C-alpha cells in the first residue's frame, strides 16, 4: 500500500507537484508568484524534480465549490505520479476539516509527504494524534471566523433542549458518552458535596481522595481548584448550562439535561452558595495555620511570626496581631515586631495579586523548573490543543452525514488523547514543585484568591515573596507599608 509507487531508488529524483492558490485573506496573503518562488526553493532544497506547478487562479473557486487544480492534484496522487506535494502553507490546501481528513487519508495511503515553506508539512509516517491535532488547528482557525456565531446559537439551542453533551473532555463522574455514570467517581462527588455542605475543606477532601487513588479524568492530581470547579458544574446535577463570558464565572443554567444526575439540583444550589461565599466557615484541622502569614513573614531578628492578640487599646479592643515568636522568650536580644493581622494580610494580598497580574506564568514556571524550555513548550501545546477542542465542540453540531460524524469522532479522540498526554507531562514537569502552577489557566486571579483554600494562598505567597517586618518608630500611627519589607524572591 505505501511506498511502492515512490521512486526512491538509486539515482532517481523524487517527483514533486507544487500547489498555489490566491489568498482571500488580506492578513497574510502571499501572492501566487511569491508562493511559487518559495515552493521552488523547497524543491531545490530537497533535490526534487518538479513535474507540475498547479495554480488555482479563479477567486470564486475558493469561496465557491469547484477547485479544478486541487482535483487534479488529488488525481495525480491517486495515479501514483507524485512523491511530494509542495505548498507555501498547508492552509492553501483545505477549506474544511472534511477535505483535510480526505487529503491525509489519500497521501498516507500513497506514501506522499507534503512540504510547506511556512509552518509544518504533513508526514504520513508521523500521523499520530498529536499530528492530526496540529494540522486541524490551522484549518479550524480558517473556518472559525465566519462560523462561530451560527455555531454559538446552535450550541445554545442544543443546551436548551438538554441534549447530552458528548464533546470536549470527559466530565468527571460520566463516561465519554456524557450519560453513563462512573459509579466510583459519582460516589466521590456525592461524598464531597455532603462534606462541603457540612463545612469540610476542599483541601482535606482532595487529600483523602488522592490517598484513595482518585484522579482527574486526564489522570492528573485532583486539586482543590479542579474539585471546586466540578462541584460548581450544573451538569453533575443533571442541569444543562452554557459558559458565561469570563473564564471562572459560574455557568448559566438554561435547561434540564436528558442525562441522569449524580446529585440533586437542590444540592447543586447549596454548593454554589457555599463555594462562592468568600467567608465560608470550615472546620479546619487544629494544628494547621489559620492565617496567611504565620511562619512565612519574618521579624528583623530572623525568626518567623505567629498569631497572637494585642493588649487592649484605649477603647478596650484587642486586635489580632502577628508577632515575633521569640519575643516573649526574650531569647534573642533586640527589637521584635508585631503588626495587625488584617492590615498586613491586606497589604501582602494586594502586593501578590498585583505581582501575579503582571507575571507571565509560563515564563515563570519554565524558569522555575529549569528544564530547558520543555514546560514552556508543553504549556503552549496545551493552549493550542484546547483551542482545537473548542472548535471541535462547536463543529459537532454542524455535522450532517455519518461520514462527517465518524471523521469528527476520530479527530476528537485523537485530540483528547494528545491533551491527556500533554496534561500528564505538565503535571510531571511542574505540578508538585510549584504552588503557583495551580494558577495556570486561571483568568481571574483575584477571584481565584477569594475562592482558594488558605493553604493554597499561603503556598503562593511563600513561593513568590519574602515578607520582613521592620520596627515602627515610636509614635507611629496606623499601618504604614514603609515598615514592611516585601520583595519578590526572584528578581526579573
Size of the site for Zn ion (CB under 5 A): 5
Is residue 339 close enough to count as binding Zn ion by CB under 5 A?
Answer: no
Rounded CA separation 23/63 (Å): 11
**Of 296 and 324, which CB lies nearer to Zn ion in the complex structure?**
324
CB of 293 to Zn ion, least distance (A): 14
**Of 93 and 324, which CB lies nearer to Zn ion in the complex structure?**
324
Q: How many CB atoms lie within 10 A of CB 225?
A: 21
**Pairing mode of beta strands 84-87, 252-256:** unpaired
* Under 8 Å between Cβ of 362 and 380: yes
Stretch that binds Zn ion, among 112-120, 168-176, 188-196, 318-326 (CB under 5 A): 318-326
Q: What is the DSSP string of 428-469?
A: IIIITT-SGGGGTT-S-HHHHHHHS-HHHHHHHHHHHEEEEE
Instruction: Find how far residue 437's CA is from the centre of its chain.
Output: 12
CB of 321 to Zn ion, least distance (A): 13
Is residue 305 close enough to count as binding Zn ion by CB under 5 A?
Answer: no
Strand stretches in 99-179, DSSP E: 113-116
CB of 299 to Zn ion, least distance (A): 3
CB of 291 to Zn ion, least distance (A): 17
**Of 42 and 469, which CB lies nearer to Zn ion in the complex structure?**
469
**Of 166 and 336, which CB lies nearer to Zn ion in the complex structure?**
336
Stretch that binds Zn ion, among 227-235, 320-328, 409-417, 471-479 (CB under 5 A): 320-328
**Of 311 and 372, which CB lies nearer to Zn ion in the complex structure?**
311
Nearest to 163 by CA among 96, 84, 91, 258: 258
Nearest to 98 by CA among 64, 140, 69: 140
- Of the candidates 162, 250, 295, 303, which one interacts with Zn ion according to CB under 5 A? 303
Query: What part of residues 425-444 is at the interface with Zn ion (CB under 5 A)?
Result: none
Nearest to 49 by CA among 73, 21, 84: 84
Stretch that binds Zn ion, among 2-10, 218-226, 334-342, 350-358 (CB under 5 A): 334-342
Stretch that binds Zn ion, among 203-211, 268-276, 321-329, 475-483 (CB under 5 A): 321-329
Is residue 323 close enough to count as binding Zn ion by CB under 5 A?
Answer: no
* Under 8 Å between Cβ of 259 and 174: yes
- Of the candidates 30, 138, 192, 299, which one interacts with Zn ion according to CB under 5 A? 299
Rounded CA separation 206/370 (Å): 28
**Of 201 and 338, which CB lies nearer to Zn ion in the complex structure?**
338
Largest alpha-carbon pair distance within the chain? Answer: 99
**Pairing mode of beta strands 320-324, 305-309:** antiparallel
The dihedral of CA 281, 282, 287, 289: what is its sign? negative
Stretch that binds Zn ion, among 7-15, 173-181, 186-194, 298-306 (CB under 5 A): 298-306
Which residue carries 483541601 as its cell? 203
Is residue 306 close enough to count as binding Zn ion by CB under 5 A?
Answer: no
**Of 301 and 442, which CB lies nearer to Zn ion in the complex structure?**
301
CB of 295 to Zn ion, least distance (A): 14
CB of 351 to Zn ion, least distance (A): 22
CB of 329 to Zn ion, least distance (A): 10
Stretch that binds Zn ion, among 205-213, 291-299, 429-437, 458-466 (CB under 5 A): 291-299
Q: State the Cα torsion 430-434-437-439 to the nearest 10°.
A: 170
CB of 304 to Zn ion, least distance (A): 9
- Of the candidates 301, 353, 425, 435, which one interacts with Zn ion according to CB under 5 A? 301
Q: In what helix (H) or strand (E) does residue 321 lie, and over which residues does it extend? A: strand 320-324
Which residue carries 455519518 as its cell? 402
Is residue 336 close enough to count as binding Zn ion by CB under 5 A?
Answer: yes
Which positions touch Zn ion (CB under 5 A)?
Answer: 299, 301, 303, 324, 336
Amino acid at each position: 500500500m505505501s511506498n511502492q509507487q515512490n521512486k526512491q531508488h538509486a539515482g532517481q529524483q523524487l517527483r514533486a507537484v507544487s500547489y498555489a492558490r490566491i489568498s482571500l485573506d488580506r492578513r497574510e496573503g502571499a501572492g501566487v508568484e511569491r508562493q511559487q518562488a518559495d515552493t521552488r526553493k523547497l524543491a531545490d532544497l530537497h533535490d526534487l524534480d518538479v513535474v507540475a506547478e498547479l495554480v488555482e487562479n479563479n477567486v470564486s473557486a475558493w469561496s465557491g465549490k469547484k477547485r479544478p487544480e486541487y482535483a487534479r492534484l488529488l488525481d495525480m496522487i491517486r495515479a501514483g505520479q507524485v512523491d511530494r506535494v509542495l505548498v507555501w502553507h498547508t492552509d492553501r490546501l483545505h477549506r474544511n476539516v472534511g477535505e483535510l481528513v480526505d487529503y491525509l487519508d489519500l497521501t498516507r495511503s500513497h506514501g506522499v509527504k507534503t512540504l510547506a515553506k511556512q509552518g509544518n508539512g504533513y508526514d504520513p509516517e508521523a500521523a499520530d494524534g498529536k499530528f492530526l491535532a496540529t494540522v486541524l488547528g490551522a484549518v479550524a482557525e480558517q473556518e472559525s471566523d465566519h462560523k462561530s456565531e451560527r455555531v454559538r446559537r446552535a450550541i445554545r439551542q442544543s443546551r436548551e433542549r438538554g441534549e447530552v453533551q458528548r464533546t470536549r473532555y470527559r466530565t468527571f463522574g460520566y463516561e465519554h458518552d456524557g450519560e453513563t455514570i462512573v459509579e466510583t467517581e459519582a460516589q466521590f462527588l456525592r461524598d464531597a458535596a455532603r462534606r462541603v455542605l457540612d463545612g469540610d475543606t476542599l483541601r482535606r477532601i482532595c487529600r483523602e481522595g488522592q490517598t484513595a487513588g482518585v484522579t482527574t479524568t486526564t489522570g492528573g492530581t485532583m486539586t482543590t481548584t479542579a474539585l471546586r470547579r466540578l462541584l460548581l458544574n450544573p451538569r453533575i446535577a443533571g442541569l444543562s448550562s452554557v459558559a458565561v463570558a469570563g473564564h471562572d464565572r459560574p455557568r448559566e443554567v438554561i435547561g434540564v439535561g436528558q442525562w441522569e444526575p449524580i446529585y440533586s439540583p437542590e444540592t447543586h444550589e447549596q454548593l454554589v452558595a457555599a463555594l462562592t461565599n468568600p467567608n465560608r466557615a470550615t472546620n479546619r484541622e487544629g494544628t494547621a495555620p489559620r492565617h496567611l502569614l504565620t511562619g512565612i513573614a519574618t521579624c528583623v531578628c530572623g525568626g518567623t511570626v505567629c498569631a497572637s492578640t494585642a493588649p487592649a487599646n484605649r477603647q478596650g479592643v484587642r486586635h489580632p496581631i502577628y508577632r515575633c515568636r521569640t519575643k516573649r522568650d526574650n531569647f534573642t536580644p533586640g527589637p521584635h515586631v508585631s503588626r495587625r493581622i488584617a492590615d498586613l494580610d491586606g497589604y501582602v494580598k494586594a502586593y501578590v495579586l498585583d505581582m501575579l497580574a503582571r507575571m507571565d506564568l509560563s515564563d515563570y514556571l519554565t524558569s522555575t523548573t529549569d528544564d530547558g524550555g520543555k514546560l514552556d513548550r508543553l504549556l503552549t501545546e496545551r493552549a493550542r490543543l484546547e483551542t482545537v477542542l473548542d472548535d471541535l465542540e462547536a463543529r459537532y453540531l454542524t455535522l450532517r452525514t455519518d461520514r462527517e460524524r465518524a471523521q469528527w469522532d476520530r479527530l476528537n479522540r485523537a485530540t483528547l488523547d494528545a491533551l491527556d498526554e500533554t496534561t500528564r507531562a505538565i503535571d510531571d514537569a511542574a505540578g508538585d514543585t510549584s504552588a503557583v502552577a495551580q494558577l495556570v489557566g486561571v483568568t481571574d486571579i483575584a477571584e481565584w484568591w477569594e475562592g482558594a483554600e488558605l493553604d493554597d494562598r499561603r503556598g503562593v505567597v511563600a513561593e513568590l515573596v519574602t515578607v520582613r517586618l521592620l520596627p515602627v518608630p515610636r509614635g507611629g500611627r496606623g499601618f504604614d507599608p514603609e515598615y514592611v519589607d516585601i520583595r519578590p524572591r526572584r528578581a526579573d
